[in-house]
Every structure is written in structure tokens, then in C-alpha cells.
Amino acid sequence: MKAIFYLFNIIILLLCFINLNGQDLKLASIFGDNMVIQQGINAPVWGWSGPGSRLKIEFAGTESYAITDESGRWMTRMPVLNAGGPYKMKITGPDDTITFSNVMTGEVWLASGQSNMEWTMGSGVGPNTNADIAEANYPEIRFYNVPKKTSSVPVRDTEKQNWTICSPETVKSLSAVSYFFARELCKHKNVAVGIISSSWGATSAEAWISSEMLATHPDFRERVLSMDTDTAKWNSYVRNCLKAEQDRETIARTSRIGIEEGVMDPGYDDSG
């Protein structure tokens, strides 16, 4: 019985050792099936693995290589590619292999901003919205919606999301500005278009700038250096901001009632 107990403990220790020292090949969350890689540049590919790992990246008939640094981070740049696809991307490490399928090369654009950029096709953005949604059958357009998360300190990656192929069913969750832009680009350039949508209504410009850069400006330096990054206090601050955003959305939504009743008409009877 003691022998079995000791053997069990040894197995547990070995599993822990493997977990701590294994290669654990991982790519940044932006990489995935159905993604679009920018054409005409040495597009970067990056991620993490065990320190000193040698990696091979195979894509569109090319091969690229990388070696992780002491922290396990790696990045390489692929050869310049023309628009095309679909391809497979294969990343091979000492112990792991990751493969992405249905990958295109074309135009990749970041769509960022406040509510004007965030407003989705499904929100009813114009008089022809239903018709635009019905004809949104563009498999060459793919989009990636960055999740809404805040942090008082920089993070190395975002939560994993999937690249979505544009269709009448999926386009409703895509930024309207992004969709019409991508549609025109796809038609005129005849290339795949990837949209990375990272927008958040009512956010300030300062929220999109690093604290290091803000600290170089005299109007912000004192506030940045005195910012409390305590997790509990930060989460409380975020909750208050989210509540304010919800109140703002309620006002925006209910204001349509007045529009429908014609309150902007000079002859509107407001006696009631």
C-alpha cells in the first residue's frame, strides 16, 4: 500500500513538473481559423512557448523560424505575400503543433473609436439596414471583435475570440462603419478584408493612450503618477464607469420615443 502511495505522489510531481516546464506553445489570441494576414508586408507572427524553443512557421508555401527568449516570448516576420488563399498556417514547436485553416491574405484594418464606430449592423443604423443585412454574403470579409476588458496595468494578450466570416446571419454583430468600409474595399480591390474591431462607446482619448506617454504631458502627469492600481479600487471605478455607460445607453434608446412622436416639430403639442 505504501508503495502505491509513493508511486502516486511521484506521478503527481512529474505531472506538475511537465506542466511547469513543458513548451505550452501558444499564439496571440488574434491568430485563428478564418483570419486575414496583411498582404504586401513582412507580417508578424508571435506568441509564447518554453524559453529557448525553436519554432517553425509554415504559411502559403513559405517557411519562417523563431527562437523564444528567456521569458518564452517569440516573434517572427513572414516573407512578403500577395493577396490570396485560402491557406493553412502551421506552427511547429519542440512538442506541440498548432494549425489554422481557411486563412486569407489581403487587407487588414483596425476599426477603433467610440459609439459611432461600435454601433453594429444589428442595431438598425439606417433606412436600408434590413436590405444591407440580407445581401451581406461576403465570405472574403472576416471580422474579429476585441472583447471589452479594462486593466490598470498592461496585459500581454486579450481573451480569445474567433474570426467570423461575414454573412447575413453574422454581420449583425459587426460594426456598421466597418462593414460598409470592408464591403467597398472588397469590391474595388477584389481581395479578402479582415476587420479588427476594438471600439467602446463614450471612452475618452486618454483611455487609448499608454500611461507612459500620458505622463509626458504636463496636464496629465500628476494624475497618471498618482493613479491607484489597487485591484479592488480599480474594479470599483470600472463598475461606476459601466453604470454611467448604461445610463447613457438608456437615454439614447428612449430618446427615439420622442423622435417617433415628432417632438422636433415646431407645431408639436407638448401640453401633456
Residue 270: inside a domain, yes or no?
A: no
Residue pointed to by grid coordinates 518564452: 72
Residue 225 lies in a domain: no
Number of domains in the chain: 1
Instruction: Tell me: pLDDT of 20 over 60.
Output: no
The pLDDT value recorded for residue 36 is 98
Does residue 1 have a pLDDT over 70? no
240 in a structural domain: no
Write the CA distances from 162 to 39, 86, 121, 179, integer angstroms. Answer: 21, 17, 18, 17
In a domain, 200, yes or no: yes
- Please check whether residue 32 lies inside any domain of the structure: yes
Tell me whether residue 221 is in a domain: no
pLDDT tens readout for residues 235-270: 888 888 888 878 877 887 787 788 888 989 999 999
Average pLDDT, integer, range 215-228: 89
Structural domain of residue 179, as residue ranges?
2-205
Q: What CATH number is attached to the domain comprising 155?
A: 2.60.40.10
Q: Other CB atoms closer than 10 Å to residue 106's CB: what's the count?
A: 25
Residue 17 in domain:
yes
pLDDT at 206: 86
In a domain, 106, yes or no: yes
